[in-house]
């Protein structure tokens, strides 16, 4: 059973990767916890309620269902869930279980961070993307119309329970979107993971259990290490944002409805590879390898109507922008990245344009 310690000033906890761990949920909830609130979406609850409900038998709990999708990751959703918690007997002893994908992890985590000034949250991610990234590290929050994740809080969970079994019901598109976050982990810190993705595409896409578990465990290891070194993203944690500057810009520009987060990050990593190449930070060979592995796990939805100009302007609203300078996370080789601030606007626009051109001509599979 791979288990990884996340050690932060706010809290230390374990991220456990284990088939069937969902059924052990009860043993990860402190005996002192009051009413438990499971925040989830209809589809997740429908597929997996039996295991979680059985695991909580004998504990007082309520189910709070909200519509999934990035368009519901808004303050109004948090307000409505908080009202429901009060109406159903929530108090300062309550505990929230975030049971779902990245949106649920972010919304329920933020709800826990602010409900009565903070109650504990247990993260149980059910998508690949949430298992390898969103549920670990305490980032919680919601979107504003003008930008993604612009309101939020760091609220570390009491544990993260990662059950690869639940991925069996994940739609193909969601699974592939999660794989782009796995590719990100390979590019930032793990040539071995990157090679696995490049060489075993068929097994990865077939969700071969031993391969999926290796992918997840390696990403969780990396995430736990990075977050433990820098909880609040004042240093090294920024590397986890590879592809996120242009990716977030794309999500906001398309109203959060056309691209899944992982798909937008795939676009953002293409931009980062071109930008790294153009600024002399990445060899042509490594750039080609990155673009090739992204192609292996495509396609992403059509980019019709999206312009480089609009995305470059949006990138300025990114949280990593400081004093008007966008801080780009760029690959320097497979397994290593660096932060490059203040790249000339024309260079940024041309890298974005190249990524747009590639995807408008690439049919995918
Ligand atoms: N998803 C990036 C991070 O957790 O820092």
How much is the pLDDT for 316? Answer: 80
Angle at Cα 26 formed by Cα 21 and Cα 31, nearest 5°?
Answer: 145
- Residue 344, both tokens: 């000339």
Cis geometry, peptide bond prior to residue 271 (ω within 30 degrees of 0): no
Region of 330 please: left (phi>0), alpha (psi -120 to 50) or beta. Answer: beta
Q: Are residues 213 and 336 in the same domain?
A: yes
- CATH number, domain containing residue 206: 1.20.1090.10
Q: Are residues 141 and 247 in the same domain?
A: no
Tens-place pLDDT, residues 225-254: 999 999 999 999 999 999 999 999 999 899
How much is the pLDDT for 365? Answer: 42
Q: Are residues 206 and 138 in the same domain?
A: no
Q: Are residues 158 and 181 in the same domain?
A: no
DSSP 242-301: TTHHHHHHHHHHTTTTSS-HHHHHHHHHHHHHHHHHHTTSS-HHHHHHHHHHHHHT----
On the question of pLDDT at 364 being above 50, the answer is no
Cβ atoms of 323 and 234 closer than 8 Å? no
Pocket test for ligand 1, best of 157, 219, 237 (most atoms within 8 A of CB): 237
Q: Are residues 129 and 188 in the same domain?
A: no
Task: Using DSSP, state whether 73 is helix, strand or coil.
Answer: coil
Q: Are residues 100 and 223 in the same domain?
A: no
Q: Are residues 164 and 241 in the same domain?
A: no
- Nearest residue to 197 (alpha-carbon basis) of 132, 259, 260, 241: 132
The residues assigned a catalytic role are 117, 139, 181, 223, 233, 237, 241, 244, 248, 261
In the reported structure, the alpha carbon of residue 133 is separated from the centroid of ligand 1 by a whole-number distance in angstroms of: 7
What range does the domain containing 354 cover? 172-364
**How do 95-100 and 121-125 pair as beta strands?**
parallel
Binding pocket residue ranges, ligand 1, CB within 6 Å: 133, 137, 139, 237, 240-241
Q: Are residues 231 and 127 in the same domain?
A: no
Q: pLDDT category, 58, cuts 50, 70, 90?
A: confident
Q: Are residues 124 and 184 in the same domain?
A: no
How much is the pLDDT for 214? Answer: 97
Separation CA 194–CA 319 (nearest Å): 27
Residue nearest to atom 2 of ligand 1 (CA): 240
In the reported structure, the alpha carbon of residue 134 is separated from the centroid of ligand 1 by a whole-number distance in angstroms of: 7
Tens-place pLDDT, residues 90-116: 999 999 999 999 999 999 999 999 999
Average pLDDT estimate for 131-148: 93
On the question of pLDDT at 20 being above 90, the answer is yes
- What is the total count of domains within the chain? 2
In the reported structure, the alpha carbon of residue 117 is separated from the centroid of ligand 1 by a whole-number distance in angstroms of: 23
Beta strand extents in the chain (DSSP E only):
3-7, 12-17, 36-40, 61-65, 95-100, 121-125, 139-144, 147-154, 159-162, 327-333, 336-341
Cβ atoms of 34 and 61 closer than 8 Å? no
**What is the sign, positive or negative, of the torsion defined by CA atoms of 358, 332, 199, 203?**
negative
Cβ atoms of 121 and 109 closer than 8 Å? yes
Q: What is the mean pLDDT of the chain?
A: 94
Cβ atoms of 320 and 245 closer than 8 Å? yes
Q: Are residues 38 and 74 in the same domain?
A: yes
Q: Indicate the residue among 143, 169, 195 that finishes a domain.
A: 169
Q: Are residues 351 and 209 in the same domain?
A: yes
Separation CA 43–CA 169 (nearest Å): 10
Average pLDDT estimate for 40-44: 96
Q: Are residues 185 and 322 in the same domain?
A: yes
Complete edge-to-edge strand list for the sheet that includes strand 121-125: 3-7, 12-17, 159-162, 121-125, 95-100, 36-40, 61-65
Tens-place pLDDT, residues 264-317: 999 999 999 999 999 999 999 999 999 999 999 988 999 999 999 999 999 887
Average pLDDT estimate for 149-162: 97
């Amino acid at each position: 059973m791979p288990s990884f310690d996340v050690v932060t000033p706010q809290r230390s906890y374990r991220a456990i990767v284990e088939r069937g761990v969902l059924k052990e949920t009860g043993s990860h909830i402190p005996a002192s916890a009051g009413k438990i609130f499971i925040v989830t979406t209809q589809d997740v609850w429908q597929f997996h309620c039996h295991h979680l409900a059985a695991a909580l038998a004998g504990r007082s709990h309520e189910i709070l269902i909200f519509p999934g999708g990035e368009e519901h990751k808004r303050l109004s959703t948090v307000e409505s869930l908080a009202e429901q918690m009060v109406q159903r007997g929530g108090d300062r002893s309550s505990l929230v279980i975030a049971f779902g994908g990245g949106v649920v992890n972010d919304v329920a985590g933020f709800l826990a961070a602010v409900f009565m000034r903070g109650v504990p949250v247990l993260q149980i991610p059910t998508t690949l993307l949430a298992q390898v990234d969103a549920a670990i590290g305490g980032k919680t929050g919601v979107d504003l119309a003008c930008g993604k994740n612009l309101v939020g809080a760091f609220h570390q969970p009491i544990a993260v329970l990662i059950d690869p079994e639940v991925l069996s019901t994940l739609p193909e598109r969601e699974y592939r979107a999660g794989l782009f976050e796995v590719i990100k982990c390979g590019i930032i810190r793990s040539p071995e993971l990157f090679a696995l993705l490049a060489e075993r595409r068929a097994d990865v896409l077939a969700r071969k259990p031993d391969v999926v578990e290796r992918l997840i465990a390696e990403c969780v290891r990396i995430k736990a290490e990075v977050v433990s070194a820098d909880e609040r993203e004042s240093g090294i944690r920024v590397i986890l944002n590879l592809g996120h500057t242009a990716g977030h810009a794309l999500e906001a520009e398309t109203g959060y409805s056309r691209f899944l987060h992982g798909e937008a990050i795939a676009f953002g990593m293409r931009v980062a590879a071109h930008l790294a190449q153009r600024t002399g930070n990445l060899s042509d060979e490594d750039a080609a390898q990155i673009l090739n592995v992204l192609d292996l796990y495509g396609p992403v939805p059509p980019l019709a109507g999206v312009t480089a100009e609009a995305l470059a302007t949006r990138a300025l609203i990114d949280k990593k922008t400081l004093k008007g300078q966008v801080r780009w996370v760029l690959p320097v080789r497979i397994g290593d990245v660096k932060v490059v601030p203040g790249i000339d606007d024309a260079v940024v626009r041309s890298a974005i344009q190249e990524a747009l051109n590639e995807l408008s001509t690439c049919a995918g599979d």
